[in-house]
Structure 1
Amino acid sequence: MREVQLREQICLMAKSLYDRGLAHGSTGNISARLEDGGLLVTPTNSSFGFLDPAKLSHFDAKGQLIGGDKPTKEMSLHQAFYETRGAKAGAVVHLHSHHSVALSLFEDTDKDDFLPPLTPYPIMKLGKVKLLPFFAPGDAAMGEAIRDLASAHSAVMLANHGPVVAGSDIASTIYAMEELEAAARLAIETRGQSVRALTTDQITRLTASFSA
């Protein structure tokens, strides 16, 4: 995709997230890889509802900022996913979405498999989501925590903070993020009730047929 088209797509899809309440205020950040290996990134303290395509932070293939406004302070997160997932990572999205954050607050939430296996699509689009400890916004240690996972996960949940998803392109990454938030909402709405989750065999078949 040409740079001008990617700039427009980032802003259009970010506004969609904002308009539907999946991002609020100046929270969240998005990055996407350019054909030349560079990155376009949403600026720090910017609102998804009012992004300017011309002001997106522009990094070259060597990771140097060459244009646009000052980038998000969460660059360590984005860079870690691009470094560890290589060609699999064409975009990274980080939100502070309500239900996923709420689910991360419960002490008994599974740290190795954050989303209960209630429906197939989170398994198909995300695989197992790793719950990481709390990190203060902008803490470079977040990037190190991602690197320690050695590309084993396409999505992580930062406890008391928000989810991060990496995908092949901006559209599929945002769709996967939306699936994560919907699954977290379903998990909270059914919490404490007797539910019929997917069986181990069903999960195995989904995992074998679909790769996050």
Structure 2
Amino acid sequence: MLFARTPLASSLIVKITVATVLSVLTVVSRAGVYVDADIAYATPSSDVVSASAGPAFSVGVGTELNSWFALELDYVRLGGFSVSGAEAIDEDDLAVIGLGAASDFNISGVNASALLSWRPNRWDNFYLRAGYMAWNNALEVRLNRGSHFVDHTFNLDGQDPMFGLGYAYLLGGNMESSIEYNRYFVGDVDIDVLALGLNYHF
């Protein structure tokens, strides 16, 4: 099986991480809360399949604890990817479903991350990002049922890290624009994401 089910310990780590971030966002709201929204282009790479790139997006909330450190919690949709050269599989092979059997797959999840910033002035913000995402991969598999084919969806879950870097520019007032590159590790797939976004600071 190409995708392994997540151990209970990993699931608990994600739940604790998300709960901690939510608690911090509530307690330190006076430190500077903001909301963010990004549109992006995601490119998957894998040793298991070859898949097309596609659009992605994320929305979330964050807090700046000080001028150089922030926390964010985002819902991330990494897009729907079509697998090149995918073939139908026999229904008898359902017990070994994995990424290699998919004709399409859709990845989404919740990402908790920390940002380390360098601000040479009030307008510019260069930052590094590191996080951990709880993801769901909806695999669409084409089954061969003798005289016809049937598309069926299987959901696989897991948690993996992500890393990125970016630049934000203060447009004026409370609005900030951003551009960033992120890499997500999602089971057997690595996904490179180039994103443009807007942040609104309260």
| Bigger CA radius of gyration | 2
Greater percentage in helix: 1
Give me the TM-score of the superposition, normalised by structure 2. 0.23
